[in-house]
Amino acid sequence: MSDLEAFRTRGHAWLESVAPTFGRDARTGLSVEDDLALGRRYQAAKFDAGFAGINWPTEWGGQGLGHLEKIAFDAAEMNFGMPNGYFGISLGMPIPVLMRFGSDKAWAKERVLAALKGEEIWCQLFSEPSGGSDLAALRTRAEPDGNGWKMTGQKLWTSWAQYSDYGVIVARTDPTVPKHKGLTYFWVDMKAPGVDVRPIKLAGGDSHVNEVFFDDVKLTDDQRMSPVGEGFGVALTTLMIERYVATDSAGFGPPIELFVDLAREAEINERPAIEDGRIRSAIARNYAMRAGLEAITRRAMMMMEAGMQPGPEGSLNKLVAVRSRQKLSELAMDLVGTSDLAFDPHASTKSDWATSWLNAPTGRIAGGSDETLLNTIAEKILGLPQDHRPDKGIPFNQIPA
């Protein structure tokens, strides 16, 4: 047995042993607060068992293993419906960015370890009401204030901000230069005076996203994670990572195995749907697509392990995965028929087809809208010319609001 197979077997055995305590059935009917508390316990147990930070360096509290081990464990974990969604963004984007750009900070390792154990949660404060998917159009400003900064503005669609202890944020520190040039990257204490978090209720009934207001929030210069005016480069690295970790090959929807199970139970013309050629074709196409996306993700993980920056292929990953999830969820609902219209607002997007379908449009906006991703694919992968940009090279304070 190879080392990878041995790791996969050990991980699956551990997940099976804790599933009665933390898995899908144990979470049924819990409030968000109780589910989050269960999630913290699960994250701590995962850390103690050696399955947290699988491909992170050991000096940061990780296991020092490879990307294949991480993908193997994540695939197995998904099938058990564990309460890990609260930590996906925290451990997927802010913390890796902190490890890369904040490694010189004395407090960095303590924060990383606390996040890895589920004791602290980080959020990512990028989107704004007036910016849409154009990150460089943000208007939250940070002005010099003594030896630090004073920040004022608003962020929107921030996942899990209401439960976050800290966040990474991009703010405009110089409005007199072109919009990409005057941005600086900070981290912020989400419990600091002047921070106001307001949850937003989505169509699916949950409120995991928020609008966040900053009213003269004090930042020390130690909270700055980029050179002044060079925050867009750090933000771009965050977004490149997000294209991979903000989704999986299932688009954060149900795994293909659940659709196969459904096709065995549902009927078409009084025969199991799994025997229908159209259903078998949909399963085959979806399986092939997911295998391709997982190969792209493995390549990106290898690049990051080698100290390289993952490429724009992550845009393809997210675009295709979430679109496919939406179509597969719709097909699953068609197979079940009217009995699937009894919507459960507490169901998981990874286990319930109706919930997955209803929340898929959110996934097609979060982490970059379809239109933004298509532009990235056209320009960065296919080499097509850029769209005309009337604001290119114009000082930000001269761009009409």
According to the model, what pLDDT value does residue 133 have? 73
Q: Are residues 152 and 200 in the same domain?
A: yes
- Asked if residue 221 is part of any domain, the answer here is yes
pLDDT at residue 70, as a whole number: 84
Q: How far apart are CA 180 and CA 142, in angstroms?
A: 15
pLDDT at residue 245, as a whole number: 56
| pLDDT at residue 177, as a whole number | 97
CA distance 401 to 288: 45
Task: Assess whether 128 and 218 both reside in one domain.
Answer: yes
Write down the pLDDT at residue 62.
94
Residues 263 and 327 in one domain: yes
What pLDDT is recorded for position 348?
77
Q: Which residues of the chain have pLDDT under 70?
A: 1, 132, 240-247, 301, 304-307, 309-310, 339-341
138 and 213 part of one domain? yes
Question: What is the pLDDT at residue 341?
Answer: 63
Decide which of 91, 116, 141 is a domain's last residue: 116
Name the one residue in this structure whose structure tokens are 């921030």: 158
Residue 9 within a domain: yes
**What percentage of the chain's residues is helix, strand, coil (to nearest 5)?**
50, 15, 35
The partner residues of 267 in beta bridges, in order of sequence, read 272
Q: Is residue 178 part of a domain?
A: yes
Any idea of the CA torsion for 237, 238, 240, 245, to the nearest 10 degrees? 150
What residues contact residue 143 under an 8 Å CB cut-off, 6+ apart? 149, 150, 151, 152, 173
- The reported pLDDT for the residue numbered 243 is 56
Same domain, 175 and 225: yes
Angle among Cα 185, 320, 75 to the nearest 5 degrees reads: 85
Q: Dihedral sign for Cα 300, 304, 307, 309, please.
A: positive
* Residue-range definition of the domain harbouring residue 167: 122-235
**CATH code, domain carrying 156:** 2.40.110.10
Do 148 and 225 lie in a common domain?
Answer: yes
Residue 295 shares a structural domain with residue 368: yes
Last residue of a domain, which of 116, 140, 175? 116
Within a domain: 388: no
118, 47 Cβ separation under 8 angstroms: yes
Residue 399 lies inside a defined structural domain of this protein: no
Residues 61 and 31 both lie in one domain: yes
Between CA 94 and CA 123 the distance in angstroms is 7
- The CATH number of the domain where 357 resides is what? 1.20.140.10
Q: Of the candidates 134, 165, 166, 121, which has an alpha carbon nearest to the alpha carbon of residue 235? A: 134
- Residue 68, domain member (yes or no): yes
> What is the model's pLDDT at position 391?
85
Do 150 and 203 belong to one domain?
A: yes
Residue 37 counted as domain residue: yes
Per the structure, how many domains does the chain have?
A: 3
pLDDT number for residue 309: 67
Q: What is the pLDDT of residues 213-268, one digit of tens each?
A: 999 999 999 999 999 999 999 988 777 665 555 557 877 788 899 999 999 999 99
Say if residues 150 and 159 touch (Cβ distance below 8 Å). no
* 281 shares a domain with 366: yes
Look at residue 55 in the predicted model and tell me its pLDDT. 87
pLDDT at 244: 57
What the block records as the tokens of 363 is 């996934």
What is the per-residue pLDDT for 128? 93
